Amino acid sequence: MKKGIFITFEGIEGSGKTTQAKLLAERLKEQGLDVIKTFEPGDTQAGKKIREILLSPSINMNPLTELLLYFSDRVQHVEEKIKPAINQGIIVICDRFTDSTIAYQGYGRGLSVELIEEFNNILLGNFKPDLTILLDLPAEIGLSRNQRINKRDRFEMEDIDFHNKVRDGYLQIAKSDPERFFIVDATEDASEISQKIFDIVQTKINTK
């Protein structure tokens, strides 16, 4: 059986990933394709509990503890949901994946990017998305969008410097892997963005 495709959405807070992932899944389903939409952290039974710990504003956490929890969630997610779906020929659309860990725990918190890549190798056998959509926008705009809807988890409470580092981190990761990344200007109109993403995904599907 033909393998499915693994597509991830990445970006800082308020970049519109969740909306765009949903729109893409809907459009692909309209075409009769088999699609599942998933997210990190927290889209398994174990992951839900891990997410609660990770995002609780009242829990004090060492950056390495945080890193290990994101990988715990990811190992469970990949083994329980993502790989089985891909092996059945399904298109998997995931809201955040390892690039989030490199951007937030690596560039944001200052942990070694090499260490994170090494963990990825050891724990996931260097399992990577086929295509990653990076929704890029200035941190000020993203954060102000989220404040309007009153979203305040442990990361949203970080200062603007942290979010600027995460944004720059994402741009560097994308630069180092241009074959996999598609960068979209997330300040554009949502329907224009959705069309651009749909076009690039169709090309990916047709060339796979």
User: 83-122 mask for ligand TMP (x: CB under 6 A)?
Assistant: -------------x---xx--xx-----------------
> Taking a C-beta distance cutoff of 8 angstroms, is the pair 201, 24 a contact?
yes
Distance CA 206, CA 208 (A): 6
Binding ligand TMP (rule: CB under 6 A), the pick from 14, 41, 106, 169 is 41
Report which of 16, 10, 43 is spatially closest to residue 149, judged by C-alpha positions.
Answer: 16
> Taking a C-beta distance cutoff of 8 angstroms, is the pair 41, 73 a contact?
yes
Going by C-beta distance under 8 Å and a sequence separation of 6 or more, which residues neighbour residue 115?
none
Nearer CB in complex with ligand TMP: 98/194: 98
The CB-of-39 to ligand TMP minimum distance in angstroms stands at 6
The CB-of-203 to ligand TMP minimum distance in angstroms stands at 26
Going by C-beta distance under 8 Å and a sequence separation of 6 or more, which residues neighbour residue 176?
none
Nearer CB in complex with ligand TMP: 45/207: 45
Q: Three-class SS string for 9-46?
A: EEECCCCCHHHHHHHHHHHHHHCCCCEEEEECCCCCHH
Residue with structure tokens 């954060």?
Answer: 143
Residue 40 binds to ligand TMP (criterion: CB under 6 A): yes
The CB-of-69 to ligand TMP minimum distance in angstroms stands at 9
User: 155-184 mask for ligand TMP (x: CB under 6 A)?
Assistant: x-----------------------------
For CA atoms 12, 172, 181, 38, give the dihedral sign: negative
The CB-of-206 to ligand TMP minimum distance in angstroms stands at 29
Site for ligand TMP in 64-83 (CB under 6 A): 70
**In the numeric block, which tokens belong to residue 1?**
């059986």
Residue 43 binds to ligand TMP (criterion: CB under 6 A): no
Residue 10 binds to ligand TMP (criterion: CB under 6 A): no
Residues within the interface to ligand TMP (CB under 6 A): 13, 40-41, 55, 70, 96, 100-101, 104-105, 155
